[in-house]
């Protein structure tokens, strides 16, 4: 069980490094699209270095009156 936890942690760290190298952490992350792209890049982990370039496109609707 400890090995699985370590592999998952390393996977996520590699994804976070990839997001940093792509410059996703610079500037505000106030948009849904930017936050989603950061999240899926981290979840993709080492796949980012094998050609994966996950992007998220989303819009948040405003509340109705």
The count of structural domains within the chain is: 1
57 inside domain: no
Q: Comparing C-alpha atoms, which of 39, 26, 28, 14 is closest to residue 58?
A: 39
Largest Cα separation within the chain, whole Å, is: 52
45 inside domain: yes
Q: Which domain holds residue 32?
A: 2-50
3-state SS track over the chain:
CHHHHHHHHHHHHHHHHHHHHCCCCCCCCCCHHHHHHHHHHHHHHHHHHHCCCCCCCCCCCCCCC
This prediction has a pTM of 0.82
pLDDT at residue 63 in the model: 80
28 inside domain: yes
19 inside domain: yes
Mean pLDDT, each 10-residue run in order, the chain (65 residues):
93 96 86 89 94 86 77
23 inside domain: yes
61 inside domain: no
């Amino acid at each position: 069980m400890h090995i699985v936890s370590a592999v998952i942690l390393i996977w996520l760290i590699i994804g976070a490094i990839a997001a940093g190298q792509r410059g996703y952490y610079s500037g505000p992350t106030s948009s849904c699209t930017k936050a989603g792209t950061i999240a899926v890049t981290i979840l993709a982990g080492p796949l980012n270095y094998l050609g994966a370039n996950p992007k998220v496109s989303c819009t948040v609707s405003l509340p109705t009156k």
